């Protein structure tokens, strides 16, 4: 078996194990789990948006356990300072020198709960680490782990005491994953699981201790290699660029997708292909990737928002208007 085909098998096995193991804790939400795994395969970062109580935090913590990566968590508050995330220099009376004490960003898997509760200065502190996987403190460069990943959560309906993420920050997130309410069968399963672990207050504390098997690190590394090895034909490049560039001239869009969005869309489309055990990208992969990759990068015109349009609807319209290669 060739290394490339092994990579296809590794990606498929990662998705299968992820759905099974994470599904022991999280009822339903299969697409959320799949997109979270896609984020890890692509080496990107994800913003998870959902109303309170749909298990956003529990899903991310369970994903970290499944991947077996070093995990740290910070909770956003209006008084949080950049040093609370990055670290700070501390003076030692014994040595008479300053030494840098690393903050929670120095990990492999960082969960930033309620990121939009952090003030803008603290949000901006994550820009360098998310883009370049490094932290510069007191003129000294500190390199982060190759697997450094940020998963952030936010509540879409709460505005008091929050600071909406600026476009530059949103563009650093490879995907924006929407976590919806579970359906009837899934919510019943939630009740049964809470009952089984003796919880009656809606807490996920007991569920978070559910035994799951961590994926071998070699499998994650092989699946990542596969994503980068997926073939892309010239016609797919043209189609992808047509979709992205059309957003920049679309009448209801004030700010279209950036070149970073183009590269993100390409990488996620390759991951979707690997998920389907293909070592080549087809137009449907680009369509599947378009919503989670583009929905948070577009700024609609005020009149479009007054008409009730949202970015998901506009992305679908752009896809429908773009000719698909044969």
pLDDT at 206: 64
Distant-in-sequence, close-in-space partners of 216: CB < 8 Å, separation ≥ 6: none
What domains appear along the chain, each with residue ranges and CATH number? 3-222 (3.40.50.300), 230-321 (1.10.8.80)
pLDDT at 52: 87
Q: pLDDT for 135-160, tens place per residue? A: 988 788 889 999 999 999 998 876 66
pLDDT at 5: 44
Q: Are 137 and 99 in contact (CB under 8 A)?
A: no
Distant-in-sequence, close-in-space partners of 81: CB < 8 Å, separation ≥ 6: 121, 122
pLDDT at 158: 65
pLDDT at 271: 94
Q: pLDDT for 264-290, tens place per residue? A: 999 999 999 999 889 999 999 999 999
Nearest to 25 by CA among 204, 215, 214, 188: 204
Mean pLDDT per 10-residue run, the chain (326 residues)? 55 91 89 93 94 89 92 91 88 77 92 91 89 87 92 81 81 94 90 75 63 88 91 96 96 93 96 91 96 95 89 95 91
């Amino acid at each position: 078996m060739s290394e490339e085909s092994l990579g296809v098998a590794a990606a498929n096995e990662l998705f299968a194990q992820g759905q099974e193991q994470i599904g022991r804790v999280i009822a339903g939400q299969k697409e959320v789990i799949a997109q979270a795994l896609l984020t890890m395969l692509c080496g990107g970062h994800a913003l998870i948006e959902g109303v309170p109580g749909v298990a956003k935090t529990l899903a991310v913590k369970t994903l970290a356990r499944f991947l077996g990566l070093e995990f740290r968590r910070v909770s956003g508050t209006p008084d949080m300072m950049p040093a609370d995330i990055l670290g700070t220099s501390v003076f030692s009376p014994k040595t008479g020198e300053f030494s840098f004490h690393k903050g929670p960003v120095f990990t492999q898997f960082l969960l930033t709960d309620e990121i939009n509760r952090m003030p803008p200065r603290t949000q901006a502190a994550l820009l360098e680490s998310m883009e370049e996987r490094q932290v510069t403190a007191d003129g000294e460069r500190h390199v982060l782990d190759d697997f450094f990943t940020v998963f952030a959560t936010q509540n879409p309906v709460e505005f008091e005491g929050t600071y909406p993420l600026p476009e530059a920050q949103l563009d650093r997130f490879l995907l924006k994953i929407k976590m919806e309410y579970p359906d009837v069968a899934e919510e019943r399963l939630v009740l049964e699981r809470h009952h089984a672990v003796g919880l009656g207050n809606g807490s996920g504390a007991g569920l978070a201790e559910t035994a799951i098997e961590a994926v071998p690190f070699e499998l994650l590394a092989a699946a990542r290699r596969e994503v980068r090895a997926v073939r892309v034909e010239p016609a797919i490049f043209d189609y992808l660029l047509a979709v992205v560039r059309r957003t920049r001239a679309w009448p209801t869009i004030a700010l279209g997708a950036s070149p970073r969005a183009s590269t993100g869309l390409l990488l996620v489309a390759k991951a979707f292909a690997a998920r389907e055990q293909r070592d080549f990208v087809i137009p449907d992969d680009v369509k599947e990737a378009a919503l989670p990759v583009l929905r948070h990068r577009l700024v609609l015109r005020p009149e479009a928002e007054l008409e009730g349009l949202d970015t998901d609807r506009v992305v679908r319209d752009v896809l429908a208007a773009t000719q698909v290669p044969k």
